[in-house]
Chains A and B, each alone.
Chain A
Amino acid sequence: MKILYILKAEPEDIVNRLIAEHKKDSEVLVFELYKDKDYDLMAKMIEDCDRVIAW
């Protein structure tokens, strides 16, 4: 499973821990919206993944 994390702010420790947990059994992609405003790339990543988690 491919999981996309969209980070709206600098991630807190709990978010990094969740990402690390998900990485154990899934492919995890991270889009740092707080510093990257490439919406075309973001849309493509959303399209390509199976699940989206926004923090």
Chain B
Amino acid sequence: MSGYGLWERAAPLLLQLLCVTKILIKNTDKHAIMKLGILVTTDKYRDDIIGLTEAVLKRGHAVIIFFMDEGCRLAIDKDIVALKDRTGVSMSLCDLNRGKIGIAKQDIREDIICGSQYDNALMNREADKVIVF
């Protein structure tokens, strides 16, 4: 048997082992890097979103923010948008909602993804915990 053939057989097992290890680490170490999802559906909690995001980043974690409905108004708030400059913060919004509430696309910073509910789904998949504001 050639070395290449052995590697071909071993690779899926190694990959599986890596995935299991990752799941075990995620489930046993609460203090490992956490990804917090923040679903923003209204513009009423601006200060809470900023305060919580900063506190979570200070603890070494990451934050994923998705804006939808009236929450899209916060995607043009300068202090909220400034969070995007911090390491570990990603942002996206529902472009359909943005258009419906009359926010021009050119007013959205270019590194904020103007996406869809698919990005909300991605956030829910990637985040360890999700909070709705």
Residue numbers of A with Cβ under 8 A of B are: 6, 8, 33, 37, 39-40, 42-44, 46-49, 51-52, 54
Q: Tell me the nearest residue of chain A to B32, going by C-beta.
A: A47
**A43 CB, nearest partner CB in chain B, Å:** 4
Residue numbers of B with Cβ under 8 A of A are: 30-31, 34, 36, 45, 47-48, 51-52, 54-56, 58-59, 61, 129-133
Supposing A47-B30, A47-B31 touch, asked if A54 and B55 sit within 8 A by C-beta, the answer is no
Can you offer 18 A-B residue contacts whose CB atoms are under 8 A? A6-B131, A8-B45, A8-B48, A37-B47, A37-B51, A42-B52, A42-B55, A43-B52, A43-B55, A43-B58, A43-B61, A44-B59, A46-B131, A47-B34, A47-B61, A49-B129, A51-B129, A54-B133
